[in-house]
């Protein structure tokens, strides 16, 4: 018996060693890889269509807490529909020859809100005409994806780059479904719907990339990189956009930036030819619920250390982080008061304009 | 606290395996009831559930290590039911946990002294983000840190000082004296290692109540995960000495079995030094796997995560040591304590590695409802690990191995 137990221990050690060893080998192989050159663009303009994914933080948080906390499956929570907004951005890339090309980043949540925002920004016409060439889905979170019908009804065959780490519910909604969730009394509530099945191509992105280089080059100077990270509400993986802007440097554009803004720049430093940190736009997933933690101070110090020259943030970054970062000398791009003219505004918006918010834009 | 029998050739390892599988299933059930996102109570927010589990484990240690079961008998008399004693002790631990958590911290300390120990006091103070969920997470974090310091002091104290200096007094004097002495040191440890970080959980930071975390300059993070990593790494050595090495080498400093001042002092100093070394080794290992961390990095790039992960790995090792000691009769049991200690430690490390692989495998998507992947900010294996340790302690110390242990006092199913 003792001998058998001993042999079992040895076998187990072997399994552990082989698993951990393969991870190290993969990292070492990655380190030896040649740096990727994905071209250059002349400039990138980001129009903030909507960064207001929900209007009242407290209601959103209560929905999460009441139905199981951060690890809960987002499709099992009867979200307060009236509180839902959505995250979308329009990206205009100017190529080196001056030609402009457009990309839609994410598709929001509440269809009423998404439709309202789309109409305000002429998105339906751009989708119908093909001026918007494709959509990057940053991740499968409700506020970035559940408004998919609002996009598909104008362009059902749009090409979508989404993380490969999706769940059956995500695919059901993409292909057309009405989904509900039960409240604590057992009553069913509508949580999302899509009556226009997606007929176009879904590019399922993974960390290997399309040619094993870790990226999907969607245009010259524009790359999508998938980071396979676990995220709250049972979601996994995020697609991030990298731009190589001529004479300026690397720009990241994110939905929520769950992997961490500095990790994105760290990846670029290790893997991209001619890396020079320049700017970022998007949710940075820091003080999501306007709370604080000493590690958020770490991020401010880190951003300064990485020498990012232009930081445009909103959404899950948290107003207090943006304000504190700006006060600490981080080059935060200020927004305007245009968002106040929209039919709804977030309860956490302040007069500091530390966020680039609805209706604002930034050019890198 | 030390192992009780030197050599048990008739130990039934199959029954040990049955025991640990049964305990795993109980932990799984409890996880589903209290923590799982699809379960009943859904306490894994994560800090609320985390702190409750740590306080529960602390309540068990208060009963078993500090009070040494006083006013109950240390062991169940042969004519009495171990089942009834186990139930009574478990109920006592649960009541004590609820009393400490909701009465002492939320209602007493939080309302009459330190705001951040009570979510309702935080809300009443009206600072940024002061609503129930965030306030409860902050107070949970503070309570968790306090009891992390408590676990460190208690386990290390038991391994070193034992009953010293009250060994000649009766059990009640020993129990109460040890409790208040340990609490004295816990308050100091908490203040130095955690309080500053908790004061910086607010916006603006409560700089008049707590200094800026003093470890920032060399740890590259202001997160108290630094302290958590350090304490858990030190605890691994205290647990190893106590469980796997049968009290050695510190036992050599006491004239007879039990603690004394010199032994206690050396246990604190040596386990702290070894803890720092283990922490350093683990951090180096993580650099090997994930490259250098950097200030402000998130997920595996974050120094705060690296320290937390060192604590998590130590937790796995401690769990493995508990399992080896309690369910596999501290295999091997040769005549050489040195050989025993080395092999047991190696087995504990291998066991810890297996637990690590299990926790980060897709199996836990099914068992624990977690998202696959590492460094999820809302997930730490310490919660599951400490729940597991708690149930092992309840089973082995409160229920004395019942019902699978047939002959109390020697070994499982002798």
> Quick one: average pLDDT of B250-266?
85
Enumerate residues 67 to 126 of chain B having a beta carbon within 8 A of any beta carbon in chain A: none
| pLDDT value at A24 more than 60 | no
Is the pLDDT at B410 greater than 60? The verdict is no
Question: Average pLDDT for residues A33-58, to the nearest whole number?
Answer: 94
Using alpha carbons only, what angle is made at residue B180 by residues B174 and B182, rounded to the nearest 5 degrees? Answer: 95
B285: which 2 tokens? 């290992």
* Of B42, B296, B371, Cβ closest to residue A69: B42
Residue of A nearest to B355 (CA): A16
pLDDT in tens, A123-173: 999 999 999 999 999 999 999 999 999 999 999 999 999 999 999 999 999
Rounded CA separation A120/A228 (Å): 34
* Percent of chain B's residues with pLDDT above 90: 78
Report the alpha-carbon distance of residue B285 to residue B306 in Å, rounded: 10
**Cβ-count burial of B332 within 10 angstroms (0-12 exposed, 13-18 middle, 19+ buried)?**
middle
Ramachandran region, residue A186 (left: φ > 0; alpha: ψ -120 to 50; beta: rest): left
A65 has a pLDDT exceeding 90: no
Asked if pLDDT for residue B122 goes beyond 90, the answer is yes
With CB atoms and an 8 Å threshold, state whether A71 touches B357: no
Whether A8 shows a pLDDT value over 60: the answer reads no
d(CA B21, CA B33): 18
Tell me if A226 sits within 8 A of B363, measured CB to CB: no
* Residues 74 through 103 of chain A touching chain B, CB cutoff 8 Å: 76
DSSP B329-375: TTS---S-HHHHHHHHHHHHHHHHHHHHHHHTSTHHHHHT-PPSSS-
The percent of residues above 70 in pLDDT, for chain B, comes to 94
- Among B126, B214, B297, the residue to mutate for chain A (most A Cβ within 10 A): B297
How far, in Å, CA of A73 to CA of A235, rounded?
8
The pLDDT of residue A7:
38
Chain A nearest-CA distance from B382, in A, is 16
Mean pLDDT of chain B: 92
| Residues A243-254, mean pLDDT to the nearest whole number | 98
B407, pLDDT greater than 80: no
Find the residue in A nearest to B368 (Cα). A71
Kindly state the DSSP code that residue B253 receives in the 8-state scheme.
Answer: G
Spatial contact of A147 and A107, defined as CB atoms under 8 Å apart: yes
Write the residue in B290, B299, B369 that is nearest to A260 by C-beta: B299
Mean pLDDT lowest among A16-30, A147-161, A250-264: A16-30
The average confidence (pLDDT) of chain A is: 91
Q: CB of A235 within 8 Å of any CB in chain B?
A: yes
What is the interface pTM, i.e. ipTM, of the complex?
0.85
Confidence of residue A4 (pLDDT cuts 50, 70, 90): very low
Give me the long-range contacts of B125-128 (CB less than 8 A, separation at least 24).
B127/B202, B127/B203, B128/A290, B128/A291, B128/A292, B128/A320, B128/B202, B128/B203, B128/B204
Q: Is B45 within 8 Å of B139 (Cβ atoms)?
A: no
Taking alpha carbons only, the member of B363, B355, B300 closest to residue A230 is: B300
Percent of chain A with pLDDT over 90: 82
Domain-by-domain residue ranges, chain A? 40-363
Check if the beta carbon of residue B51 is closer than 8 Å to that of residue B144: yes
CATH architecture of A40-363: 4-Layer Sandwich (3.60)
Closest residue on chain B to A69 (Cα)? B45
Determine whether the interchain pair A262/B347 forms a contact, defined as Cβ–Cβ distance below 8 Å.
no
In this prediction, residue A58 has a pLDDT band, given cuts at 50, 70 and 90, of confident
Which residues of B fall within a CB distance of 8 Å from A259? 298-299
What is the predicted pLDDT for the residue at A83? 96
Q: State the Cα–Cα distance between residues A57 and A289, nearest whole angstrom.
A: 6
Contact between residue A306 and residue A360 where contact means Cβ atoms under 8 Å apart: no
Neighbours of B107 (CB within 10 A): 16
Beta-carbon separation of A294 and B197 below 8 A: yes
Per-residue pLDDT band at A70 (split at 50, 70, 90): confident
pLDDT at res. A271: 96
Q: What's the whole-number mean pLDDT along residues B57-79?
A: 93
Supply the pLDDT for residue B79.
82
- Is pLDDT above 60 for A1? no
Q: Given an 8 Å threshold on Cβ–Cβ distance, is A68 in contact with B378?
A: no
pLDDT tens profile B183-236? 999 999 999 999 999 999 998 899 999 999 999 999 999 999 999 999 999 999
Tell me how close the Cα of A227 comes to any Cα of chain B, in angstroms.
Answer: 11
Taking 90 as the threshold, does the pLDDT of residue A5 lie above it? Answer: no
Summarize the confidence of residues A102-110 as an average pLDDT. 98
pLDDT at A361 exceeding the cut of 70: yes
- The answer to whether A231 contacts B371, with C-beta atoms less than 8 Å apart, is yes
């Amino acid at each position: 018996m003792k001998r058998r137990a001993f042999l079992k221990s040895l076998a187990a050690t072997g399994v552990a060693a082989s698993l951990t060893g393969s991870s190290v080998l993969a990292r070492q192989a990655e380190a030896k890889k040649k740096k990727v050159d994905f071209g250059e663009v002349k400039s990138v303009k980001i129009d903030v269509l909507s960064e207001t994914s929900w209007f009242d933080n407290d209601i959103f948080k209560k929905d999460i807490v009441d139905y199981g906390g951060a690890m809960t499956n987002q499709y099992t929570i009867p979200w307060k529909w009236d509180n839902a907004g959505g995250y979308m951005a329009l990206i205009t890339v100017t190529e080196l020859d001056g030609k402009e090309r457009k990309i839609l980043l994410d598709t929001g949540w509440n269809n009423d809100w998404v439709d309202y925002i789309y109409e305000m920004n002429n998105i339906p016409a751009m989708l119908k005409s093909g001026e918007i060439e494709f959509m990057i889905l940053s991740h499968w979170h409700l506020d970035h994806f559940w408004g998919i019908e609002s996009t598909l009804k104008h362009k059902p065959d749009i090409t979508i780059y989404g993380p490969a780490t999706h769940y059956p519910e995500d695919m059901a909604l993409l292909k057309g479904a009405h989904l509900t969730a039960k409240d604590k009394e057992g009553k069913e509530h509508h949580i999302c719907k899509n009556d226009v099945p997606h007929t176009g191509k879904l590019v399922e992105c993974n960390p290997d990339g399309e040619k094993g280089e870790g990226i999907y080059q969607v245009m010259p100077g524009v790359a999508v990189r998938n980071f396979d990270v676990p995220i709250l509400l049972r979601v996994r993986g995020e697609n991030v956009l990298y731009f190589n802007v001529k004479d300026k440097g690397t720009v990241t554009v994110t939905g929520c930036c769950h992997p961490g803004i500095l990790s994105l720049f760290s990846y670029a430093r290790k893997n991209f030819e001619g890396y020079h940190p320049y700017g970022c736009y998007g949710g940075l997933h820091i003080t999501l619920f306007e709370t604080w933690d000493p590690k958020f101070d770490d991020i401010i110090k880190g951003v300064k250390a990485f020498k990012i020259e232009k930081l445009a943030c909103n959404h899950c970054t948290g107003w207090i982080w943006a304000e504190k970062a700006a006060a600490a000398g981080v080059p935060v791009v200020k927004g305007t008061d245009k968002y106040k003219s929209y039919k709804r505004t977030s309860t956490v918006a302040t007069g500091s304009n530390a966020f680039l918010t609805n209706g604002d834009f930034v050019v890198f | 606290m030390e192992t009780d029998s030197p050599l048990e050739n008739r130990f039934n390892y199959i029954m040990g395996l049955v025991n640990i599988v049964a305990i795993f299933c109980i932990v799984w059930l409890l996880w589903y009831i209290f923590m799982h996102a699809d379960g009943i109570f859904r306490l894994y927010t994560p800090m609320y559930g985390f702190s409750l589990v740590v306080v529960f484990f602390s309540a068990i240690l208060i009963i078993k290590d500090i009070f040494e079961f006083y006013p109950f008998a240390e062991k169940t008399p042969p004519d009495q039911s171990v089942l009834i004693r186990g139930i009574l002790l478990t109920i006592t631990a649960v009541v004590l946990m609820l009393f400490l958590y909701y009465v002492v911290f939320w209602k007493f300390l939080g309302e009459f002294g330190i705001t951040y120990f009570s979510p309702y006091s935080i809300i009443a103070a009206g600072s940024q983000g002061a609503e129930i969920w965030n306030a409860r997470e902050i107070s949970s974090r503070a309570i968790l840190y306090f009891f992390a310091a408590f676990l460190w002091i208690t386990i290390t104290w038991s391994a070193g000082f034992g009953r010293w200096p009250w060994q000649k007094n009766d059990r009640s004097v020993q129990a109460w004296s040890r409790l208040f002495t340990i609490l004295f040191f816990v308050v100091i440890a908490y203040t130095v290692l955690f309080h500053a970080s908790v004061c910086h959980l607010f916006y603006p930071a409560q700089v008049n109540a707590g200094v800026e975390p003093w470890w920032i300059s060399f740890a590259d993070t202001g997160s108290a995960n630094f302290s958590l990593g350090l304490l858990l790494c030190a605890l691994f050595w205290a647990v190893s000495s106590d469980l796997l090495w049968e009290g050695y080498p510190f036992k050599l400093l006491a004239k007879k079995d039990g603690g004394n001042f010199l032994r206690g002092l050396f246990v604190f100093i040596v386990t702290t030094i070894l803890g720092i070394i283990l922490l350093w080794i683990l951090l180096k290992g993580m650099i090997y796997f994930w490259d250098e961390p950097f200030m402000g990095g998130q997920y595996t790039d974050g120094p705060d995560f690296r320290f937390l992960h060192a604590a998590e790995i130590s937790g796995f090792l401690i769990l493995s040591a508990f399992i080896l000691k309690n369910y596999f009769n501290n295999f091997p049991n040769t005549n050489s304590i040195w050989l025993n200690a080395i092999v047991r430690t190696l087995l504990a490390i291998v066991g810890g590695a297996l637990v690590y692989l299990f926790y980060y495998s897709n199996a836990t998507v099914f068992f624990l409802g977690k998202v696959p992947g590492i460094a999820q900010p809302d997930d730490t294996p310490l919660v599951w690990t400490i729940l597991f340790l708690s149930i092992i302690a309840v089973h082995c110390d409160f229920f004395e191995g019942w019902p699978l242990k047939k002959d109390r006092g020697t070994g499982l199913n002798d």
